[in-house]
Structure 1
Amino acid sequence: MKYQNDIDTALGQKKNYKSLVRKLKKKNTREVDNLFHTLHDEVFEEVDCLACANCCKTTSPIFRDVDVERLAKALRMPVAEFQKKYLTMDADRDWVLQTAPCPFLGEDNYCSVYEWRPKACREYPHTDRKNMLQILNLSLKNTEVCPAVAKIFFEISQRNQ
């Protein structure tokens, strides 16, 4: 995989990245947001999600009711049938995919339901969100899945030595 080195680096740096998260949590929201948003833009000029699609291959987004309804309608299925065929309820009582990789991911890494995809997919990897402080732990976990997030954490760690 083209970006596997970024994920391997993140796995090797997990202890350091946890320490980085603790340091970032002591900073103000605007400073952390600016840091992540700047790096988000820089990294996504280099990273091609279609060359990777690891998020779609290994994890499941949360499907809100509105996501389920939109996808069921797009696929011309009753909501209950869509849920039964594709989803399961996790321990947090959220709808998630039954299987990985995502059943809507094509061999070419294109999403067959891209236009109707869940909000969580639209926003992934969440590194351009406001108030990054609230999701630093999630972002840390995403370094193990997304090479772009791994690159962002690497860059932050290099700038904060």
Structure 2
Amino acid sequence: MVWRIPIGRDQAIPTIPRARSAAGFSSYPLRGPKTYFCTFVHMQDFIAQLPQLAKDKHKENKKFFAKLKKKPPKNLDQTMQQLHDEEFQRTDCLDCANCCKTTGPLFTDKDVERIAKFFKLKPQQFEAQYLRRDEDGDLVLQSVPCTFLGADNYCSIYEVRPKACREYPHTDRKKFHQIGNLTVKNTAICPAAYNIVEKMKQHIKL
């Protein structure tokens, strides 16, 4: 699968790890002189670069979302749904699963009841076996990568997965302007979230 990452003209183009062929990377102009597209043949190349890419864009993104929160466009929800749908027509989570490998969801009581029933366990048994309370008192996985993630990136509890997993990366959420801080964090984890935010900044002029 080919991955495209918008890169500002003044931003250094990320390099491919030496283990990968440089032939898998190219850049070309897109929508004017200030934007370039970088093509990664391998998803893992993108994921390896993502924390630095997100760090380089952090101040710019924080400023953008601060403005967005103060004055969200009337058609924001419609725009975000379109950007979300377009991105996930290109993005296959099975090629990535970085969210499952590096972070964990919060489990609600309903999540616990639903998943425990799937395993034919009592909620207390499921909690004891798979979950723990974090410093905020929330139920989270005992460890990451996620216990339920297979080597093929398939989720063994996909049909009953937590609500937080089902909605991730939340880029189609209503009143999207209210979750700017969360979205900025997600750009360092989720390739799709990174791409969507970059396209947001092209589509929405604040």
Common topology (TM > 0.5): yes
Instruction: Name 1:86's counterpart in structure 2.
Output: 130
1:64-95 deviation digits (Å, cap 9, x = unpaired): 11110111111122211211111111233221
Instruction: Name 2:70's counterpart in structure 1.
Output: 26
Q: What is the one-letter code of the residue matched to 2:189?
A: V
- Return the alpha-carbon distance in structure 1 between the equivalents of residues 64 and 161 of structure 2: 32
Distance 1:119 1:76, change over 3 A: same
- Return the alpha-carbon distance in structure 2 between the equivalents of residues 123 and 115 of structure 1: 13
- Return the alpha-carbon distance in structure 2 between the equivalents of residues 25 and 106 of structure 1: 38
- Return the alpha-carbon distance in structure 2 between the equivalents of residues 34 and 6 of structure 1: 27
Q: Which has the larger radius of gyration?
A: 2
Aligned-pair RMSD on alpha carbons? Answer: 1.7
Larger strand percent? 2
- Return the alpha-carbon distance in structure 2 between the equivalents of residues 7 and 40 of structure 1: 21
2:196 corresponds to 1:152: yes
Instruction: Name 1:17's counterpart in structure 2.
Output: 61
- Return the alpha-carbon distance in structure 2 between the equivalents of residues 85 and 31 of structure 1: 45
Q: What is the one-letter code of the residue matched to 1:12?
A: D
The count of aligned residue pairs is 161
- Return the alpha-carbon distance in structure 2 between the equivalents of residues 130 and 158 of structure 1: 20
2:102 corresponds to 1:55: no
Distance 1:8 1:45, change over 3 A: farther
Which consecutive unaligned segments of at least 5 residues does structure 2 have?
1-43
Larger helix percent? 1
Which consecutive unaligned segments of at least 5 residues does structure 1 have?
none
- Return the alpha-carbon distance in structure 2 between the equivalents of residues 29 and 122 of structure 1: 26
Q: What is the one-letter code of the residue matched to 2:46?
A: Y
2:54 corresponds to 1:3: no
Contact 1:7–1:150 (CA<8 Å) still a contact in 2? no
SS across alignment from 1:115? helix
Q: Give, in angstroms, the shift of residue 10 of structure 1.
A: 2.1
Q: What is the one-letter code of the residue matched to 1:31?
A: N
- Return the alpha-carbon distance in structure 2 between the equivalents of residues 6 and 31 of structure 1: 29
Contact 1:3–1:52 (CA<8 Å) still a contact in 2? no
Contact 1:43–1:151 (CA<8 Å) still a contact in 2? yes
Structure 2 length-normalised TM: 0.72
2:114 corresponds to 1:66: no
Which one scores higher on RCO, CA 8 angstroms, separation ≥ 6? 1
- Return the alpha-carbon distance in structure 2 between the equivalents of residues 52 and 7 of structure 1: 14
Matching residue within 172, 175, 179 for 1:128: 172
Which moved further from structure 2: 4-13 or 132-141?
A: 4-13
The equivalences for 1:101-140 within 5 A come to 101-140=145-184
Structure 1 runs (4+) greater than 6 angstroms displaced: none
Contact 2:66–2:180 (CA<8 Å) still a contact in 1? no
